[in-house]
Amino acid sequence: MSVRAVIIRDDKILLIHRIKNDEEYYVTPGGGVEEGESIQEALKREIKEETNLDLGKFEKWYEETYEGVQTLYFICQVEGNEIKIIGEELDKEDKNNHYEPRWVNKRDLKKVTVYPEKIKELAE
């Protein structure tokens, strides 16, 4: 199981800019739920590792199963202002594996590749 955070402030959404195997795209912060970890604990940990922000209130928004992995998406409020990668992704960073949290204007979502595409509905 995987959890993902949809974080919106003003007219912007916080996404992770990825370049991996020469493909450029955006994803929401998140990742796998570790053994013995609750959904809330996993969401809190992933948000911290991938954005340096702290989880506030959250509610389930969307669910999908892709390649056998169930993923839960949550609309999240966060605390803090300085965004940066601080988790294991920082150690994996190189020219073929790029992670960068970015505030993306909702109106620009239609211009970029973002997974899942359902995120683009937030711009409407």
User: d(Cα 21, Cα 78) in Å, to the nearest integer?
Assistant: 31
DSSP 73-117: EEEEEEE-S-----SHHHHH-BTTEEEEEEEEEGGGGGGS-EESG
DSSP 11-54: TEEEEEEEEETTEEEEE-SEEEPPTT--HHHHHHHHHHHHHS-E
Domain boundaries, the chain: 2-102
Residue 49: what residue type? E
pLDDT of residue 30: 96
Give me the CATH topology for the region 2-102. Answer: Nucleoside Triphosphate Pyrophosphohydrolase (3.90.79)
pLDDT of residue 22: 87
The residue written with tokens 């991996």 in the block is: 20
pLDDT of residue 118: 94
User: d(Cα 24, Cα 4) in Å, to the nearest integer?
Assistant: 19
Q: What is the pLDDT along the chain (124 residues), one digit of tens a residue?
A: 999 999 999 999 999 999 988 899 999 999 999 999 999 999 999 999 999 999 999 999 999 998 999 999 999 999 998 999 887 777 777 777 889 999 999 999 999 999 999 999 988 7
pLDDT of residue 94: 77
Could you give phi then psi for residue 105, rounded to 5 degrees?
-65, 135
Question: Is the pTM above the cut of 0.95?
Answer: no
Q: Which residues of 62-76 are buried (b: 16+ CB within 10 A; e: fewer)?
A: eeeeeeeeebbbbeb
Span 83-111, pLDDT tens digits: 998 877 777 777 778 899 999 999 999 99
